[in-house]
Amino acid sequence: MWPYPTILAHRGGGTLAPENTLAALRCGWSHGFRGVEFDVMLTRDQEPILMHDPVLGRTLPGSGKIADHTLSELLALDAGGWHSPAFAGEPVCTLAQAMAFCRQHAVWMNVEIKPASEAVAVATGTVAALALKSAFADAIGAHVAGHNDATLPLFSSFSFEALMAAKIAAPEIPRGFLVDTIPDDWQQQLQILDAVALHTNHKNLSERQARAIKDAGFGLFCYTVNDPQRAREIRGWGVDGICTDRIDLIGPD
Ligand code: G3P
Ligand code: MG
């Protein structure tokens, strides 16, 4: 159900580095993590970058929407200084750079498709899927249909439409449906997406729900677990994997 690393560094390096940057990926890797989660969003010119917020202001200086800025405009900004002076000048990371880093260092990826709005959900899912399909063409070629292993990354998204688009563009790359609160029809949604896992907020998960998801044969992943005791508790419920911001306290596998 979950052939992947069980503890992932959230947004690259958790809170120890500026989220969704190459510096964050290096930080997670240097802490021994061999699995990472990051967010992918499109720029105005449809370039996939690692980004969480749809607007500037928190991790990038300035204001306005990410979707109104071109890649070259965003690459000119400081994506690290907000975190701490040591990371000042760290640039925005492209999806291509993140994939290259992870492949080079054998870091498995949970690629969260993060459309800046539902209007660009299909475009974001399609672009991300085609990029991964190209980067992992060799692994897809060697992959045995129906056999789930860690040679391929895993998509996740809160956007059903984005995941459907990823399924159409790169059906070979598995999908996890990401929800804050588990809906009553979770199993039906997973089936439509042909998803291998449900990803959910650990704060809203009950033991009964966890066991039902596992009994139904799906992987179960929780975000964002920062307390080691809580991590042990939900793992005891059958939760397969978690991501954490506290890579100094939890993990790696
Ligand atoms: O993919 C799990 C987690 O990253 C979802 O929440 O807001 O941190 O992207 P967020
Ligand atoms: Mg995320």
Whether pLDDT at 21 is above 90: yes
C-alpha pair distances (Å), 68 with each of 19, 21, 22, 48, 94: 21, 20, 23, 14, 17
Mean pLDDT of 221-229: 98
pLDDT at position 144 is 80
DSSP structure class, residue 92: P
Among 31, 52, 105, 143, the active-site one is 52
**Cα(111) to centroid(ligand 2), Å:** 8
pLDDT at 147: 82
d(CA 163, CA 67): 19
Helix, strand, coil percent values for the chain (each to nearest 5): 40, 20, 45
pLDDT at 146: 77
Q: How far, in Å, CA of 237 to CA of 233, rounded? A: 7
- Asked if residues 92 and 79 have their Cβ atoms less than 8 Å apart, the reply is yes
Residue 1 has pLDDT above 90, yes or no: no
Does 222 score more than 90 pLDDT? yes
Contacts of 236 (CB under 8 A, 6+ apart): none
What is the rounded distance in angstroms from the CA atom of residue 8 to the CA atom of residue 110? 8
The type of residue at 48 is P
The pairing of strands 35-42 and 48-50 is: antiparallel
Q: Which ligand is nearest to the CA of 243?
A: 1
> For a pLDDT cut of 70, what percent of the chain falls above it?
100
**The pLDDT value given to residue 194:** 97
Dihedral sign for Cα 176, 177, 178, 180, please. negative
Expressed in angstroms and rounded, the spacing between residue 38 Cα and the centre of ligand 2 is 5
Question: Average pLDDT in the 56-72 region?
Answer: 98
Give the phi and the psi of residue 169 in degrees, each rounded to 5. -75, -35
Element (H, E) at 190: helix 186-193
- The pTM for the full model equals 0.98
Domain extents for the chain? Answer: 7-54+95-244
Confidence tier at 35 by pLDDT (50, 70, 90): very high
Tokens representing residue 75 in the block: 């690459």
CATH of range 7-54+95-244; options 3.40.50.1980, 3.20.20.190, 3.40.190.10, 3.30.1360.10 = 3.20.20.190
Tokens of 70: 């071109």
Crossing angle of helices 160-169 and 186-193, in 10° steps, is: 30
Q: What is the pLDDT of residues 112-162, one digit of tens each?
A: 999 999 999 999 999 999 999 999 999 998 888 878 889 999 999 999 999
Mean pLDDT, range 161-185, rounded to an integer: 98
pLDDT at 161: 98
Contact 111, 40 (CB under 8 A): yes
Q: Whose CA is nearest to atom 7 of ligand 1?
A: 52
176 pLDDT more than 90: yes
- List, as one string, the DSSP characters of 240-251: -EEEES-TTTS-
Dihedral sign for Cα atoms in the order 51, 37, 137, 157: negative
Binned at pLDDT 50, 70 and 90, residue 40 comes out as very high
Residue list, CB under 5 A from ion ligand 2:
39, 112
Nearest residue (by CA) to ligand 1, atom 6, is 223
- Residue 6, pLDDT above cutoff 80: yes
Q: Which atom of ligand 1 is nearest the CA belonging to 223?
A: 2
Structure tokens at 95: 């999806």
**189-206 tens-digit pLDDT:** 999 999 999 999 999 999
HSE of 70, CA atoms in CB hemisphere, 13 A: 3
Query: What is the total residue count of the chain?
Result: 253
Average pLDDT value for the chain: 97
